[in-house]
């Protein structure tokens, strides 16, 4: 018998859960954080099938497929069957800890002053998403502490390297994953806070940055089927979703990482100036400016994100909609400053 193949080629339609896929292009050419990974969710399958990639290499040695699975005869012969698969719907084991949570490449990009602003912004943005993906997968107290230290460094870079920071605003991805949204809102909010506060020592910009990046931490305790639902939520689902600010507050409190800045941002980023927000239906004068900053960035990113049931708006379209249909939701002076930032 010929030597058994360990890699097979599959078309997008032939992909399935449990395959360990290797993407042929750079991470700049597709929406995933890694060029190779185990397919665990239907959402990943959908994104892979929507990529402009015709064939995918599957590493059978790393795949978790049923013992009776075999590749299509047109793609491979004498395929080695992996051991019986683990349940790919089960929660992933805890593999991230304070020692390996922060990507080494993020630290390298943050400290490499020789990188030009375009390359530096791409690397910092990409690996910040990787950091948030790992944290949201394993949100332990130790990981929260480690992630905050890295976010402090990202915040400092945004504050002190305006050219790189501006590039980060331009390259933001627009998928609907919580880790991407967290980084987008974090970067945008820090930029807005910088425009408002400058170098004032009355604000702890590092803690603000951490609060902005971690504003949606509570979503790790929201049911996945609600987070990933490809359509409008029911009333019960919406009530469940609206618990995430308090869930985030409790996670940070229990971890010992809750500061005044993060408390305000996590609890107030869905409050609206007209009192229609949640969880406390606060009005304009009752909402702290930190919560107002995060609210604007949060809505803007939600409008410009691609979802299975809606197309992404352009930044201009989102700003027009926010001005014309949501003006009562935001502090007007703050919104004007945000528009100036986005020009």
Does 94 score more than 70 pLDDT? no
Answer with the residue of higher pLDDT: 61 or 116: 116
Does 76 score more than 60 pLDDT? no
Percent of the chain residues past pLDDT 90, beyond the cut: 59
Q: What is the pLDDT of residue 201?
A: 85
Query: pLDDT, tens digit, for every residue of 193-221?
Result: 999 998 778 999 999 999 999 999 999 99
Average pLDDT score over residue span 52-64 = 83
Q: What is the pLDDT of residue 51?
A: 75
Average pLDDT score over residue span 19-28 = 73
Q: Where are the domains of the chain?
A: 1-90, 104-342
Peptide bond into 195 cis (omega under 30): no
Does 29 score more than 70 pLDDT? no
Q: What is the pLDDT of residue 27?
A: 52
Query: pLDDT, tens digit, for every residue of 229-283?
Result: 878 899 999 999 999 999 999 999 999 999 999 999 999 999 999 999 999 999 9
Alpha-carbon dihedral sign for residues 26, 215, 322, 338 = negative
- Burial (CB count <10 Å: 0-12, 13-18, 19+), residue 95: exposed
- pTM of the full structure: 0.75
Q: What is the pLDDT of residue 157?
A: 95
Average pLDDT score over residue span 160-182 = 87
Answer whether CATH 3.40.50.970 is correct for domain 104-342.
Answer: no
Q: 69-78, 268-277, 332-341: which range is least confident on average? A: 69-78
Q: What is the pLDDT of residue 103?
A: 94
Extract the tokens encoding 212: 């902005």
Does 41 score more than 80 pLDDT? no
Answer with the residue of higher pLDDT: 9 or 146: 146
Q: How sure is the predictor about 75, in pLDDT bands with cuts at 50, 70 and 90?
A: very low
Query: pLDDT, tens digit, for every residue of 301-313?
Result: 999 987 766 788 9
Does 292 score more than 80 pLDDT? yes
Q: 7-21, 84-98, 107-121, 183-197: which range is least confident on average? A: 84-98
Does 88 score more than 50 pLDDT? no
Q: 90-99, 113-122, 240-249: which range is least confident on average? A: 90-99
Does 170 score more than 70 pLDDT? yes
């Amino acid at each position: 018998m010929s030597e058994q193949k360990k890699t097979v080629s599959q078309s997008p339609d032939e992909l399935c859960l449990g395959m360990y896929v290797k993407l042929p292009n750079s991470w700049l050419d597709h929406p995933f954080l890694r060029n190779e990974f185990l397919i665990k969710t239907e959402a990943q399958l959908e994104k892979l099938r929507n990529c402009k990639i015709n064939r995918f290499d599957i590493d059978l040695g790393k795949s978790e497929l049923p013992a009776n699975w075999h590749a299509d005869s047109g793609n491979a012969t004498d395929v080695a069957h992996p051991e019986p698969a683990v349940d790919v719907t089960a929660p992933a084991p805890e593999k991230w800890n304070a020692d390996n949570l922060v990507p080494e490449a993020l630290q390298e990009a943050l400290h490499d002053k020789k990188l030009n602003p375009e390359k530096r912004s791409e690397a910092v943005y990409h690996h910040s998403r990787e950091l948030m993906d790992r944290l949201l997968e394993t949100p332990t107290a130790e990981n929260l502490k480690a992630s905050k230290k890295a976010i402090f460094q990202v915040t400092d870079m945004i504050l002190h390297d305006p050219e790189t920071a501006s590039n980060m605003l331009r390259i933001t991805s627009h998928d609907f994953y919580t880790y991407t949204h967290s980084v987008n809102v974090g970067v945008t909010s820090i930029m807005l806070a910088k425009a408002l506060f400058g170098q004032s020592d009355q604000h702890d910009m590092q803690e603000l940055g951490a609060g902005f990046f971690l504003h949606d931490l509570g979503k790790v305790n929201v049911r996945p089927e609600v987070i990933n639902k490809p359509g409008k939520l029911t009333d019960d689902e919406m009530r469940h979703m609206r618990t995430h600010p308090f869930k985030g507050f409790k996670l940070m409190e229990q971890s010992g990482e809750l500061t005044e800045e993060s408390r305000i941002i996590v609890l107030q980023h869905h409050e609206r100036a007209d009192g229609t927000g949640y969880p406390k239906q606060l009005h304009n004068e009752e909402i702290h400016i930190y919560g107002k900053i995060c609210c604007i960035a949060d809505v803007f990113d939600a409008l410009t994100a691609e979802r299975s049931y809606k197309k992404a708006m352009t930044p201009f379209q989102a700003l027009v909609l926010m001005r014309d249909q949501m003006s009562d939701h935001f502090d007007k002076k703050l919104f004007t400053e945000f528009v100036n930032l986005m020009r």
